[in-house]
Structure 1
Amino acid sequence: MGNTIILVTHDMGVHANIADRVGIMYAGRMIEEAQVEEIFENP
């Protein structure tokens, strides 16, 4: 759809249901960005 939403949560199940791609941050830095399936299969 071409929409971007910034959602901050510790509940990864929420991401699995609504997102196509996710970014993982640690200590204020982006450490990983990928398709949701890839994050869950190979964290």
Structure 2
Amino acid sequence: MRISYLQLFIIICLSILFVSDFPKLANKLKQKIKSYKENK
């Protein structure tokens, strides 16, 4: 399977976006889990 440079570039951009956005997502998940445990 041949990957073109454009596909590789898009994959790298997406992975960078995902990694940079990950801490925010993790914080949101932690807050949801915390509130879920408190509501129980």
Which has the larger strand fraction? 1
Q: TM-score range by the shorter chain?
A: under 0.3
TM-score, normalised via structure 1 length: 0.19
TM-score, normalised via structure 2 length: 0.19
Which has the larger helix fraction? 2
Larger Rg over CA atoms: 2
